[in-house]
Amino acid sequence: MSALRGFVRAVDWVNERFGRLVALLVLVLVGLVVMEVVLRYVFAAPTVWGTELITFLFAGMIMLGGGYTLLHRDHVNVDILHGRLSPRGRAIADCLTAGFALLYCGVLFHYTASVALEALATGRTTGTDWNPPLFPVMLSLPVGAALLFLQALAKLVRDLHLALTGRVLAP
């Protein structure tokens, strides 16, 4: 039991830290977009890398924030039935559907990892004027999927514990 408690706490900790760090990327995005706008409209001299870098940072931010969003229960769901159940009933319902959440994250991890590893191995680039390598942004996809998978697994462990024992594990 203490191993399980350790696991869910560790997952919570990783996603909380990661999420708080990744959240700050929005400030970088604001800075870069404003910089690009000033260079484009005031000096008529936009950078060759601005738009691509902004897109990559955005993709990374959203991918890596998925687990943090689940940790805070912000992935929207419909709670017509769900909302009327007791906490324990809700945990039982969530145990029934947890396999589907894990399936999505797992498949997403598997197929994005293979694309990212291929990009890393072949050194593929974007083929634009700036022409950066693709693997950094591509790696954010499997890492993000893994973070979401772990958080979904931690939630399943919590729900199972509550469903079986009626007590909350590691609040």
Partner 1 sequence: MSPELASLFLFGGFILLIALGLPLVFALGSVAIIGTYFLWGPQALAMVGLRTFSAANSFVLIAVPLFIFMGCMLERSGIATDLYDMMYKWMGGVRGGLAAGTVLICGIFAAMVGVSGASTVTMGLVALPSMLARGYDRRLSVGCIAAGGALGVLIPPSVLMIVLGLYANVSIGALFLGGIPAGVLLMVLFIAYITVAATLRPELAPALPRGERAAWRERLVALKAVVLPIALIVLVIGSIVSGAATPTEAAGVGAFGAMVCAAVQRRLTVTAVTESARITLRLSCMVIWIVFAASIFTALYTAVGAQAMVRNALTALPGGRWGVIIGMQAIWFLLGCLLDPIGIMIITVPLFFPLARSLGFDPVWFGVLFVVNMEMAYLTPPFGFNLFYMRGVAPPSVSMADIYRGVIPFVAMQALGLALMMVFPGIITALPRAVL
Stretch that binds partner 1, among 3-11, 87-95, 163-171 (CB under 8 A): 87-95
Q: How far apart are CA 67 and CA 61, in angstroms?
A: 11
Maximum separation of any 2 CA atoms in the chain, in Å: 66
The pair of structure tokens assigned to 1 is 């039991």
Q: How far apart are CA 54 and CA 32, in angstroms?
A: 7
Q: Is 48 in the site for partner 1 (CB under 8 A)?
A: no
- Shortest distance, position 5 Cβ to partner 1, whole Å: 24
- State which of residues 138, 154, 156, 169 lies at the interface with partner 1 (CB under 8 A): 138
Rounded to 5 degrees, φ, ψ at 77 are -135, 170
Q: How far apart are CA 123 and CA 41, in angstroms?
A: 34
Q: Is 80 in the site for partner 1 (CB under 8 A)?
A: yes
125, HSE (Cβ side, Cα atoms, 13 Å) = 6
- Shortest distance, position 76 Cβ to partner 1, whole Å: 6
Site for partner 1, rule CB under 8 A: 19-20, 22-24, 26-27, 29-30, 32-34, 36-37, 41, 51, 54-55, 58-59, 61-63, 65-66, 68-70, 72, 74-82, 90, 93-94, 96-97, 100-101, 103-104, 107-108, 111-112, 114-115, 137-138, 141, 152
